[in-house]
Amino acid sequence: MDDKETQTRTAVVTGAGSGIGRAVAVELLRTGWSVALAGRHAETLRGTAELVPEAASLAVCTDVARPEDVTALFAATVERFGRVDLLFNNAGTFGPGGVPVEELPYEAWRHVVDTNLNGAFLCAQAAYRQMKEQTPQGGRIINNGSISAHTPRPQSVAYTATKHALTGLTKSLALDGRPYGIAVGQIDIGNAATDMTAAMRRGALQADGSVVPEPVMDVADVARTVRHMAELPLEANIQFATVLATGMPYVGRG
């Protein structure tokens, strides 16, 4: 391990192979962080790393719903970089869209819960253990919530339930982390321009049954917000931040 790696802050970013996770990983890498890139597909993780080839990155194939994968992810990160200063708990899935509650298969519900909620818990638990043990003690966890942590879209029961639960997880982690210098916050994101939201620009189902195109925002603005939260001193914490496309149907009645 060279001097540069021991002096540079280290982040673990889950879901780093695409979308918001990729954007945040690139923002951190280009501004001097060392980043462990976690995701299920080696080729997409390599693609993220190649966007900032001169930076210190480590790609670890990880299914966050598997405890053994999460353990291996944090072990590899500490072996390479020596510590964990930040976890961006970002991996998630929406599940099948356009499915009424009464028709949603239990397997689909369970997959969303395992990824969005259980995976976030497992990664936070592993980060906690490392942050308590390392010297200097402490670190930061930022959970990727969603506008759905506040208000659901139609036919999104699994996704919305997990994102509401993530808010409780954030609050509990933040409280329990105080004695150890572990700061925990949440960023709630609305309509960042990624592959996952591409369909919104063509038309998204609204609560009144209509289908309306929705505005999106540059995902780089989300990444910069996460970096701002990450680079605060541990004595300060942004508990909740909401970043959304200005004209999306959320504030007020549409």
Terminal Cα-to-Cα distance of the chain (whole angstroms)? 53
132: its two tokens: 């308590």
Note if 128 is an active site residue. no
| Residue 7 backbone class (left: φ over 0; alpha: ψ -120 to 50; beta: rest) | alpha
CA-nearest of 123, 128, 120, 239 to 187 is 239
Residue 187 tokens read as 């960023």
Q: Say if CB 189 and CB 144 are below 8 A apart.
A: yes
The answer to whether the beta carbons of residues 114 and 161 sit under 8 Å apart is no
Contacts of 156-163 with C-beta under 8 Å, sequence gap 24+, read 156/94, 156/95, 156/97, 157/101, 157/104, 157/109, 158/95, 158/104, 158/108, 158/109, 158/112, 158/113, 159/93, 159/94, 159/95, 159/112, 159/116, 161/113, 162/92, 162/112, 162/113, 162/116, 162/117, 163/116
Go through 183-212 and write b for each residue having 16 or more CB atoms within 10 A of its CB, e for each that does not. bbbbbbbbbbbbeebeebeeebbeeeeeee
Single out the catalytic residue among 106, 128, 159, 250.
159
Please list the active-site residues: 159
